[in-house]
Amino acid sequence: MKPNAGFGILKWSISAACLSVFMLFSGMVSAADEAEPTLSKEKFEHSKALYFQRCAGCHGAFRKGATGKSLEPEKTRKKGQKRLEKIIALGTEKGMNNFDDMFTKEEIKDLATYIQMEPPVPAEMSLSLMKERWNTYIEPKDYPKKPEHSLNWENFFLVILRDEGKIGIIDGDTKEVVTKVDTGYAIHVLKESSDGRFWFTQGRDGKMSKIDLWMSPPKVVADVQVAFDARDVAVSHYGEWKDKYVIGGGYWPPHFVILDAETMEPLKSVSTRGVNVDGDFVNEARVAAIYNTPHAPTWVVAIKELGQIWQVDYSDIDNLRIEQINSHKFLHDGFFDPTQRYFQIAANASNRMEIMDSVTRKFVASIETGKMPHPGPGANWNDPECGPVAGTTHLGEGKVAVWGNDPKDHPDQAWKLCYSVETDGPGLFVRTHPTSDYVWADQTKHPEPEVQQTVVVIDKKTRKIVKYIRVTEMEKAVAVHQEFNKDGTEVWISVWARGAGDRAKGEIVIYDAKTLEEKARIKGLETPTGKFNVYNRVHHVT
Residues in Cβ contact with 23 at an 8 Å cutoff, skipping those fewer than 6 apart: none
Q: How far is the CB of 113 from ligand HEC (least distance, A)?
A: 11
Residues lying near ligand HEC in the complex (CB under 6 A) are found at 54-55, 57-59, 67-69, 71, 75, 84, 87-88, 92, 94-97, 99, 111, 115
Q: How far is the CB of 101 from ligand HEC (least distance, A)?
A: 12
Q: How far apart are CA 272 and CA 320, in angstroms?
A: 14
Which residue is catalytic, options 46, 58, 102, 149? Answer: 58
Burial of 313-337, coded b for 16+ CB within 10 Å and e otherwise, reads bbeebeeeebbbbebbbbbbbbbbb
Of residues 88 and 261, the one with the C-beta less far from ligand HEC: 88
Which residue is catalytic, options 188, 237, 328, 332? Answer: 332
Of residues 67 and 489, the one with the C-beta less far from ligand HEC: 67
Of residues 69 and 133, the one with the C-beta less far from ligand HEC: 69
Q: How far apart are CA 497 and CA 527, in angstroms?
A: 6
Residues in Cβ contact with 215 at an 8 Å cutoff, skipping those fewer than 6 apart: 138, 143, 144, 148, 221
Q: How far is the CB of 443 from ligand HEC (least distance, A)?
A: 16
Q: How far apart are CA 391 and CA 406, in angstroms?
A: 13
Q: How far is the CB of 84 from ligand HEC (least distance, A)?
A: 5
Burial of 369-405, coded b for 16+ CB within 10 Å and e otherwise, reads bbebbbbbbbbbbebeebbbbbbbbbbbbbbbbbbbb
How many residues comprise the chain?
542
Whether 332 is catalytic is: yes
Q: How far apart are CA 99 and CA 165, in angstroms?
A: 18
Answer whether 275's CB lies under 8 Å from 259's CB.
Answer: no
Q: How far is the CB of 161 from ligand HEC (least distance, A)?
A: 19
Residues in Cβ contact with 434 at an 8 Å cutoff, skipping those fewer than 6 apart: 381, 488, 541
Whether 386 is catalytic is: no
Cis before residue 330, ω within 30 degrees of 0? Answer: yes
Q: How far is the CB of 83 from ligand HEC (least distance, A)?
A: 8
Whether 295 is catalytic is: no
Cβ burial of 82 (10 Å; 0-12, 13-18, 19+) is exposed
Which residue is catalytic, options 18, 23, 46, 55? Answer: 55
Answer whether 528's CB lies under 8 Å from 508's CB.
Answer: yes
Q: How far is the CB of 58 from ligand HEC (least distance, A)?
A: 3
Q: Max Cα separation, the chain?
A: 106
Which residue is catalytic, options 188, 255, 328, 374? Answer: 374
Of residues 84 and 356, the one with the C-beta less far from ligand HEC: 84
Of residues 109 and 197, the one with the C-beta less far from ligand HEC: 109
Q: How far is the CB of 95 from ligand HEC (least distance, A)?
A: 3
Of residues 95 and 122, the one with the C-beta less far from ligand HEC: 95
Of residues 48 and 505, the one with the C-beta less far from ligand HEC: 48
Of residues 48 and 191, the one with the C-beta less far from ligand HEC: 48
Which residue is catalytic, options 96, 102, 149, 295? Answer: 96
Whether 374 is catalytic is: yes
Answer whether 233's CB lies under 8 Å from 183's CB.
Answer: no
CA atoms within 13 A on the CB side of 112: 23
List the end-to-end C-alpha distance of the chain, in Å, as a whole number: 91
Instruction: Give the active site residues.
Output: 55, 58-59, 96, 332, 374
